Chains A and B, each alone.
Chain A
């Protein structure tokens, strides 16, 4: 039995997972079950950060991964974000880096510049 706190939404449900049967309890919704099962096998996170731009009025633009990445890839993705500088005005959802750090997710803008 493993106890977890669900981070899928702000409710923060206290979950219990039976590692043998994969039975999850304590969750208020399906997201909790999904989270628990992933957390005991391959924990993933979405990552949010910023990327530098060439524009004075907006020296950095906020970005996110458009899916979750394995927890242990967080810092290698952060390293990739430091390497580039945005040179054109972006909109929410525009891809800034495709398949970042081979994590099968894209880095997308989360702000309209």
Chain B
């Protein structure tokens, strides 16, 4: 992903995008399509979180709280009060952006471990409130979430909606990371002091990215609840947060494709391989430990390195040819003066 030419590697990307668009026409199994939609909804959240964790290096382990707020906003407004689902999705994004702002305002000032603990606490608090405020959230019993109207309510239509939203979010994050903003985020991750010393507004950049991740989490939550069609506080257990976090770390920090593959693989694997489903979160912990110990840069980086090792290095010849005419002209001009 180089900044110099956005069109480099456009062909595989186009092919991948086309394959994703055509997926509902190929896949006949409804369950697999549901799984693909789930991956898409999770990816919308992870794409935003990736800017926070992968690029800015802020270890937020509480994003499940924002997902829960988005889901409940959707279920309450669209389900109980009958708002338009598409409008409600946008509203859920805005509400979660506001929540991200309120959470980030104090906690992003804190050092590393303190920040991780505050976000962990935030995730726990949201679940606690979801159980406590029975009149709003249905308590432990939960709430039904409505489907989208018309063609968007069908499984493939809903898949395309999620795909469109995921594509938009991916495009936004990709744009952020390619340009000056992304560079300043990486600088904050690698050394906040050095970043501040060259004029990066550290706190404001962190907060902006965190709010953006809140918006994506809200949209993801709205789509997620409609996909699940029924939500309870148990849906948003802390392990889900760990799952988002692990798929970014495993995929590789500072890349977009890596976390995407991580999300897809980690969502699909326990569903398709039965023994892993039983181990569940233990498996995420094991993966996280292995990646941290063996390839702290993430598996994506490992793949890059293997490819680089396999591909023979291209040696470019640079023949040095002096431009004699210009040299002569310059010398003449110098002599005249």
A binds B: no
B residues apposed to A, CB below 8 Å? none
